[in-house]
Every structure is written in structure tokens, then in C-alpha cells.
Amino acid sequence: MLRRVAEGVLVHQSELLQNNTIVVQGRAGVLLIEPGQTRDEMACLAADLSELGQPVLAGFSTHADWDHLLWHAEFGEVPRYGTARCAADMRDVLSNADWKARVAEGLPPETADETPLDLYGRITGLPAETTRVPWDGPEARVIEHQAHAPGHAALLIEERGVLVAGDMLSDVFVPMLDLSAADPIEDYLAALSLLDDVAGGVGVVVPGHGSVGGADELRARIDQDRAYVRALRDNQPVSDPRVVSAKPGWEWVSDIHEGQARRIAERNQRGG
């Protein structure tokens, strides 16, 4: 079910990991940002858009994690954009003959059989100097950074006051660092600063996973994520409620925290 969160911006949330699909309405159709997890979900979304008379004009993936790279034939053969780095990573993945088996190994067992991979990861990279998604609708400003994944991007729908945050600013996930990066802590803090810089014009934040928030919630999440990352950096105790009082069924978030806290501590001990 699509829910209106701002003028011309609709959101659908997946059940398993609370993935948010974002629909931005334009003059002749929509920009579809990360359209869901399962075949039935996406077919239902395509039917809803058809009923609204809103064809998909373009897609966008904020980064190259599997649950942000899916597609359904009923959305049509339209450009599916991402940053140049995101697209390059996907070309590398798809160049392997056994890519589908590798991707399938990382899918949640609860929905693996319902996850369509035929159109997986066909991302058109935007040139490095591009700051807007090229589509016939409200300007979607690309805010690229290196937190969480290489070439990650948030989208700012300035006309609608909506920040699409990708896998950041979640109320259910702690910040998930790119531990393969040279400096994952500073990458994440730099990304939060970029989001902080545009927060004054934002009335609605939509994370990749979790609840949609208002302007006050956006500021609170930036502060909470910054505190979490600094605590990892400084090897301090973490009192983040997403870890210590995770919602039922989400206790595994503490495992994510413990794993990355351990690896950051090890990096600190090595002086890197």
C-alpha cells in the first residue's frame, strides 16, 4: 500500500526488513526509488501505479546492496540511475558468470524464493559532475558520499522538502560502516555533515529501512548516528536504543553493532 508522506511523494514499506520504496510524482509519470524486495510486492506496486495513471519514467538506486537493486518487468524498460561508483560496482558483479548464485547466497531465507533477480543491478551510472537525476519531474538532488557503501547517494527532493536517505538515518538500524574503506569512521561522519547541511530545508526524511520521520526526527537521527559513530571511534560504551532495546525480532541488530565495534577496536589497536 502506498502512503503519502509529502505532496507528490508516496512510500511503500516492505514487511521483512522495513525497506522503503519511494515514488516521486512528476508531470507525466514517476521516479521510482528502490522498488521493493519480492516479486509480489513489486507487481502490486506496478498495478497501483497503473491504476493512478502514473507510469515509471526512471528508477534510482542509492547504493549497491542487493535490496536496493531489484526491478520488475512491469515497471518498464526505463533508465535506472545510480552514482558512477555504484554502477561500476554492479558491472563488476554482473561480469561474473556465477553472479546470480553469489547474490542468492546473501538473500534472507524468508524471501529468497520470492526475490526476482532477472533484472538485478542494471544501473546506469550518472557522470561524476551530475548533481540532479535526469528525469521529467521535481528536481532530485544527488548527495553522494562514501558512508555505508562506495558511491552511496541520498536524494533531496527540494521542491517537496523530502530527503531520501538510503541506508542512513534509520530508527531500526544502527549506522552500518563500510569496514573495507580506508577510514570508515570519518567517511560516515563526513556523510552526516552533508546531510546536516541540507536538513534546514527538509520536512520529511525517508530512510532505507524503518520509519519515515519529520524535521525534528531528522535532526535527532543525525545527532544519534553521530554519537554512535563517535562512540565506536573512541571505544566508548554505546547506549543507543537500537542496540540495547531493539524491537522484538530485531535483536540481531546488536550483532551488527558488536561485530563492527570489535573490528573498529582492532583497527584502532593497529593504529589505522
What are the residue ranges of helices labelled H in the chain?
A: 39-51, 84-94, 99-105, 184-198, 215-233, 241-244, 253-270
Which cell goes with 220? 535527532
What's the total number of domains in the chain? 1
CA distances from 77 to 57, 58, 59, 160 (A): 9, 9, 10, 26
Q: What is the CATH number of the domain that holds 81?
A: 3.60.15.10
The pLDDT of residue 184 is 97
Determine contact, residues 254/214, Cβ cutoff 8 Å.
Answer: no
More confident residue, 38 or 271: 38
pLDDT at 258: 94
Average pLDDT, integer, range 155-179: 97
The whole-number pLDDT of residue 272 equals 56
Per cent of the chain over pLDDT 70 is 99
The set of cell numbers assigned to 259 is 561485530
Domain that holds residue 37: 3-270
**80-103 in b/e burial notation, b at 16+ Cβ within 10 A?**
bbbbbbbbbbbeebeeeeebeeeb
Q: pLDDT of 209-252, one tens digit each?
A: 999 999 999 999 999 999 999 999 999 999 899 998 767 777 88
pLDDT above 90: percentage of residues in the chain: 89
Distance (Å, whole) CA 145 – CA 191: 6
Whole-number pLDDT of residue 124: 97
Q: What pLDDT was estimated at residue 269?
A: 84
With 0.75 as the threshold, say if the pTM is over it.
yes
Per the CB < 8 A criterion, the answer to whether 7 and 23 are in contact is: no
pLDDT of residue 180 exceeding 80: yes
Closest CA to 208 of 84, 36, 26: 36
Q: Are 70 and 59 in contact (CB under 8 A)?
A: no
Q: Which residues contact 130 (CB under 8 A, 6 or more apart)?
A: 142
Contact, 39 vs 113, CB < 8 A? no
Average pLDDT (2-30) is 95
**Residue 6: closest CA among 22, 19, 29:** 22
27 vs 251, higher pLDDT: 27
Which one-letter amino acid corresponds to residue 218? L
Q: Which of 79, 84, 91 is nearest to 134 (CA)?
A: 79
DSSP state for residue 246 in the 8-state scheme: P
Average pLDDT over the chain reads 95
Residue the block writes with cell 526526527? 217
